Chains A and B, each alone.
Chain A
C-alpha cells in the first residue's frame, strides 16, 4: 500500500490527475473518519474533509515522501479538523440526534441496509467518543483511526509524547467504561454474535 502510494504521489506530483484521484479515493474514508470523530458532527466533518483534501492538493508539490503519504495526509486532516473546531466554537453546534435525523432524511436516496447498519454502530461509538473531553478524544482518534504513532500525535497536537500516552490510555479506559456500561458490543463480540 505504502509503495503504491509512493508511486501515485510521484505521478500526481507530475501532473497525473488520475493518480491523484486514486490517491484521494484510497484515503478518503480514513480522512473522513478522522474528521467525523474529531469534529463530532457530519456537517463539520464534511467541511474539514474538504479543507483537508484542498490542503493535500496544495501541499502535494512539496511533499517529499519522508513520511508515508497516509501519515502526512492524516496530519493535514487533523489540522483541518482543529481549524474547524475553532470556527465551530464561535457558532452553535447542532444537536447530535437532530443532526443524525437530518442526515438520514437528507441522504435517504443513498441509503442501503448496510449503510443503515453502519450508521447505528457508529452512532454508538460516536456517542461514546462525544462524551470524551477534546483533549482525550483527539489523541485516541489519531491513534486508532489515523494510525499515527505517539511521536506523530505529539507533534500534531503540540503536546509531549508522555502526555499523548496517558491521554490515549485515559480516553480508551473511559470509552470502554461508557461502551460496556451501555452494553455496547465490541466488533469482535458482534462478529461472534453474528456467527
Chain B
C-alpha cells in the first residue's frame, strides 16, 4: 500500500477546487485514500459554504440604508456628491456611521512638515535626483538642435530622409518632455488576465525603462539620473515582475473600485518610496479617485493628519520586508505627500533617515 504523498492535503484541496493539474488529478483519482480525503474535505467545504444565519430585520435595514445611499447618489452627480453618512445610516449600527459622525472633516492647509513620518514626493524626487536643468529648457534646446538637423537633412536629401528626421524630431521632443515621469500604466488588459496574473510585480512601478525610440541627440540631453534610477530599480529585491502585470492590476484596480491598488513588496521603506516617486502624479490621483467623498477606507479616519482631509487618501497596500503597510496620499500637484501607515494599529511609520 502506497503511503500518502507529503502534500496530500494540497493535492486533495486543489482537486476539490478544480485547480489541480492533469498529473495531480491522476494521482488523486488513483488513490483510494486520497479520494477518501476528498470526500472528507468536501464535507468541510460544504459546511463552510452554508449561508450564515441572520435576522431578517437586519437584512432589511442594511439594504434599506444602501438604497437610501443609492438615492442620494443618483439624485445628484455621483462623482461630486458626498454621502451623508449619519443620515444614510440612521438606525443601522455601523462603524461607518460612527466614523462619519465622529469626524467632522475640515480641510486645513496641507503642511507636510507638520506631519511626522511622511514623505513629500516632490522633495524626495529633488533629493534623490536633483534637477540639473529645467525640463522645459531642455525640451526647447533639444527641439532647436533637432530643427537645425532637420533643416540640414532636408536641404541635403529630402524625400524619405526628411520624413525620418521629422519623425525623429517629434519622438525626441516627446521623449524629453516625458523624461521626468515614467508612463508605465496603460489600459487594454482584460480582467481575466489581471485576475490570473501571478503575484503583482513591483516592476509596474519600479520598471522605468527609458524610451527605446529615443535618438542619440535626445538621449544625450537627458540627465544621467535616469540610468541611476533604472539601476536603483533593478537592485530592489522585490522587483522582477514585468510592467505588463502591474499594468493589468492597475487597470483592474480602477475598474473594480473601490478595491485598492496593491503596490508591491519592497525590501525597505526607501525602496517603496522610490517606486512611488516614479508613479506619475496623475496616476496617484487616480488611485484615490475611485473612493467617493465620504467613504474612508482603511486607516484614514484613525490618523489625525489624514482624517483632516475631506477626500479619501488611501492609494493602496504594499509590503515592506513582508509587513503590510497602507499607502496614503495627500496634497496636490507637486505637493504630494506620501504617508505610510501600519494597518495593524494605524500608526504612521516613522520616516527613515
**Interface of A toward B, CB cutoff 8 Å:** 12, 15, 17, 20-21, 24-25, 28-30, 32-33, 36-37, 42-43, 45-47, 49-51, 53-64, 66-67, 72, 75-76, 79, 83-84, 86-87, 89-90, 107, 110, 115, 118-119, 121-122, 125-126, 129, 140-141, 143-145, 149-152, 154-156, 158-161, 165-166, 168-170, 172-173, 175-176, 179-180, 184, 186-189
Contacts and interface: CB of A to CB of B under 8 A. Distances in A.
Interface residues of B, number: 79
Contact of B40 (A21, A62, A166, A180): A180
B69 A86 contact: no
A172 B189 CA distance: 34
B53 A141 contact: no
Interface stretch (B93-101, B124-132, B175-183, B226-234): B93-101
B256 A50 contact: no
Given A62-B255, A129-B48, 17 more contacts: A25-B63, A43-B93, A46-B93, A50-B65, A57-B69, A58-B69, A67-B256, A122-B50, A125-B47, A125-B48, A144-B45, A145-B49, A160-B198, A165-B14, A184-B47, A186-B40, A186-B46
Nearest to B88: A54
B13 A59 contact: no
Contacts, number: 231
Contacts of A129: 48
Given A32-B54, A50-B89, A155 B45 contact: no
Contacts of A28: 59, 62-63
Contacts of A118: 53
B107 interface: no
Contacts of A32: 51-52, 54, 59
B262 interface: yes
Contacts of A25: 59, 63
25 contacts: A25-B59, A33-B52, A46-B62, A46-B94, A50-B66, A58-B69, A58-B257, A59-B290, A62-B255, A64-B255, A66-B252, A72-B256, A79-B259, A110-B56, A121-B47, A125-B47, A152-B195, A154-B198, A155-B200, A155-B252, A158-B200, A172-B13, A180-B40, A186-B44, A187-B47
B268 interface: no
Given A45-B52, A110-B57, A57 B70 contact: yes
A179 to B, nearest CB: 6
Interface of B: 9-10, 12-14, 17, 19, 40-41, 43-59, 62-63, 65-67, 69-71, 73-74, 78, 83, 88-89, 92-96, 190-192, 194-200, 249, 252, 254-260, 262, 290, 292, 295, 297-299, 302, 317, 319, 324, 343-346
Contacts of A75: 256, 259
